[in-house]
Amino acid sequence: MLKKQKRPARFEFKPFSKQQRRLIHWWRPAVKVSQNDFVIADGAIRSGKTIAMIIGFLTWSQEMFSGQSFILAGKTMGALKKNVVRPMLQILEAWGWPYEYIRSGTDARLEISSNTYYLYGANTEASQDALQGLTAAGAYADEAALFPQNFIDQMIGRCSVPGAKIWMNCNPGNPHNYIKEEFLDKAAEKRVYHLHFMMDDNWTLPTSVKERYKRTWPVGSVFYKRFILGLWVAADGLIYQQFADHVQDYLITEDWLQDHKIIYATIGVDFGGTKSAHSFTLTGFTKGFRQVVVLDEYYCKQRLNPKQLQEAFVDFVRRAQARWKVPEAYCDSAEQTLISGL
């Protein structure tokens, strides 16, 4: 016997910020920026991007098209259903729009009026295969910066119906990300409407929560710049500014080792490439794994042949085992030939 699906709760609408209203209405023919083919909303976490984009995408697709197919994509199918489909259904309930949600099988989809919205996960390079053959009038990509590049390219290629538009949102990551370099940095060339969101653009987020987020990550750290300021910054260099400014507070001294017995240690190996260095790290653990500390390290930016790398590794292991219990080493799994040599 088929179990009746539980209807989702109705979405409770609250006043939208100016930035959210821009995202909701940018596509309307009377709006100057409607000539763009893409809209990308990026910025801080909890800044109201997703809800505004869902509302904008729904109204655009329903008012501008009839009998067409659309793409709804997330990093995984689970993430898509949780972050996009669930609030989308709540919004549809609030509006009183009839819909049918086919949630399982290889053809998961939403049917709203005469339009069909197909659901896709984009967690691997092979995910793009599911898009092939589809003719779509538009696409919604949630957290698009996490997608494989070939999925984004395939998704764009599927949107061949006249008037089609691509809607993408994301939290910033590395500045060399495909979304950043190929779309945001080429916005004029590719007709991208870029909307940058901050926490203050989400009027439903309490001030106390905003302040808690700002306290969570140190000012100047890569996470503060990405999550709070919504900036595309690389995760290298001074990730934790407070560590760089107070190195002495984090040094492991002989006195510290006398007071904290190391019961176990392990070696981590990271093989360098054309621009990165080779490194070995000896990590120690105190009783009960209460503290995890770096006991020794090897770092070399010079190009080494396999024999030189092996000799450096042997010297490092001998030095480590002369003082600590070091039963194993973990290596970068991508370099199986070098691992065999070690």
Q: Cβ of 176: how many Cβ atoms within 10 Å?
A: 9
Mean pLDDT in residue range 113-127: 95
- Report the pLDDT value the prediction gives residue 118, as an integer from 0 to 100: 98
- Report the pLDDT value the prediction gives residue 93, as an integer from 0 to 100: 96
Higher pLDDT, 1 or 157: 157
Q: Which helix (H) or strand (E) holds 270?
A: strand 262-270
Confidence band, pLDDT 50/70/90 cuts, at residue 258: confident
- Report the pLDDT value the prediction gives residue 1, as an integer from 0 to 100: 41
- In the chain, where does DSSP find H-type helix? 18-25, 49-64, 77-80, 86-95, 149-158, 178-179, 187-190, 207-216, 222-223, 241-245, 254-259, 306-321, 336-341
Give all domains of the chain, ordered by start, each with its CATH number.
Answer: 18-205 (3.40.50.300), 208-242 (no CATH), 252-341 (3.30.420.280)
If you average pLDDT over every residue of the chain, what do you get? 90
pLDDT at 339 over 70: no
**Bridge partners (DSSP) listed for residue 286:** 262
Whole-angstrom distance, CA of residue 128 vs CA of residue 124 = 8
Whole-angstrom distance, CA of residue 339 vs CA of residue 342 = 5
Smallest CA-to-CA distance from 69 within 114, 3, 24 is with 114
- Report the pLDDT value the prediction gives residue 184, as an integer from 0 to 100: 98
Higher pLDDT, 92 or 306: 92
Q: What is the dihedral of CA 192, 195, 196, 199, to 10 degrees?
A: -150
Model's pTM, two decimal places?
0.70
- Report the pLDDT value the prediction gives residue 235, as an integer from 0 to 100: 72
pLDDT at 286 over 80: yes
Q: Which helix (H) or strand (E) holds 134?
A: none
